[in-house]
């Protein structure tokens, strides 16, 4: 057992980790009281939140940590811009204090995490993602745990259907290796990284060449894994929230491609490049209300 490569403190981070997790950006992050731990962007973290200070153990140095969690982002400025796009979000913005877009940089992990998410619920998705990450290379052994990066496309192609069936993947079991194979045919990790550099809409079109990837997953991968900040992932919750807020005449109708475009255009018109972050605010607010209703 070796020590963590880096141990440091971050003073007054204006970031609420629990809020970032609640907004559905990451699946490999655990919280127990003041203790947070997980792997993000190929870096392992144990973070103890001590009042106004983070005690961090990681293989990522302080500047990498600050970048990943958006520590130095000026939230006041962002919130003002979102508020200007829709004054009706004032209350939701207050509830979302400390929310950030986490910089993940690992489109493979994002892609396969959301591949597990279709027609599924969070607790099982997390279990499945953790299961897949067991196939990843070891980052290190710290704090009594073996920390792993998410497996590469090559490794994912080798995971058999029966193996994943046995681990409770259900009908998604064959999709993992199928999707990985197709991604390799399209150019593998270089192709995925290239999608960061082209317009968001083109990137999403390309992503949908993958089996099991429809518009919603393409949106999630584009926003969370490729860093396309203007993308708005629209799931059932977002559709409910958005019709209530902006398209009351469509309340109760089903979400089609054309209506999806309608929502995307409305968010871009209102929030521009902050459309993705505005989406997070609306999503967190909607999920909070949804839980309260139940």
Partner DNA sequence: TAGGGACCTGCC
Partner DNA sequence: GCAGGTCCCT
Q: How is the beta sheet containing 6-11 ordered, strand by strand?
A: 6-11, 53-58, 43-50, 35-40, 29-32
Give the residue numbers annotated as catalytic, written as ranges.
216
Distance between CA 151 and CA 113 in Å, rounded?
A: 11
CB closer to DNA out of 10 and 287: 287
Give burial (CB, 10 Å; 0-12/13-18/19+) of 250: middle
CB closer to DNA out of 196 and 259: 259
Q: How far is the CB of 223 from DNA (least distance, A)?
A: 9
Residue 159 half-sphere exposure, CB side, CA atoms within 13 Å?
28
Distance between CA 291 and CA 28 in Å, rounded?
A: 22
Distance between CA 63 and CA 67 in Å, rounded?
A: 6
Distance between CA 3 and CA 140 in Å, rounded?
A: 9
Q: How far is the CB of 69 from DNA (least distance, A)?
A: 18
Q: Which spans of this chain sit near DNA (rule: CB under 7 A)? A: 23-24, 117-124, 165, 168-172, 208, 211-218, 220, 233, 235-237, 253-254, 256-259, 283, 294
Q: How far is the CB of 221 from DNA (least distance, A)?
A: 9
Q: How far is the CB of 137 from DNA (least distance, A)?
A: 27
């Amino acid at each position: 057992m070796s020590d963590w490569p880096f141990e440091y403190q971050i003073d007054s981070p204006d970031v609420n980790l629990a809020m970032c997790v609640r907004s559905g950006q990451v699946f490999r992050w655990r919280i127990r009281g003041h203790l947070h731990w997980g792997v993000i962007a190929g870096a392992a973290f144990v973070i103890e939140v001590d009042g106004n200070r983070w005690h961090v153990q990681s293989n990522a140095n302080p500047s990498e940590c600050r970048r990943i969690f958006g520590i130095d982002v000026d939230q006041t400025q962002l919130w003002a811009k979102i508020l200007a796009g829709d004054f009706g979000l004032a209350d939701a913005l207050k509830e979302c204090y400390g929310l950030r877009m986490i910089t993940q940089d690992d489109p493979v992990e994002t892609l396969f995490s959301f591949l597990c998410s279709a027609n599924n619920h969070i607790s099982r998705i997390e279990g499945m993602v953790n299961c897949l990450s067991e196939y990843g290379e070891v980052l290190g052994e710290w704090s009594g745990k073996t920390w792993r990066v998410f497996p590469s496309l090559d490794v994912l192609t080798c995971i058999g259907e029966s193996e994943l069936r046995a681990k409770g993947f259900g009908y998604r079991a064959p999709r993992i290796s199928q999707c990985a194979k197709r991604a390799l045919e399209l150019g593998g990790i270089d192709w995925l990284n290239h999608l960061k550099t082209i317009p968001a809409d083109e990137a999403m079109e390309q992503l949908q060449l993958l089996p099991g990837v429809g518009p919603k997953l393409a949106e999630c991968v584009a926003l969370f894994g490729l860093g396309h900040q203007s993308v708005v992932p629209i799931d059932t919750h977002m559709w409910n929230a958005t019709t209530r807020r902006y398209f009351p005449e469509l309340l109760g109708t089903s979400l089609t491609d054309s209506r999806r475009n309608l929502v995307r255009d409305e968010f871009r018109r209102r929030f521009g490049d902050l459309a993705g972050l505005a989406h997070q605010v609306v999503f967190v607010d909607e999920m909070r209300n949804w839980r309260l209703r139940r």
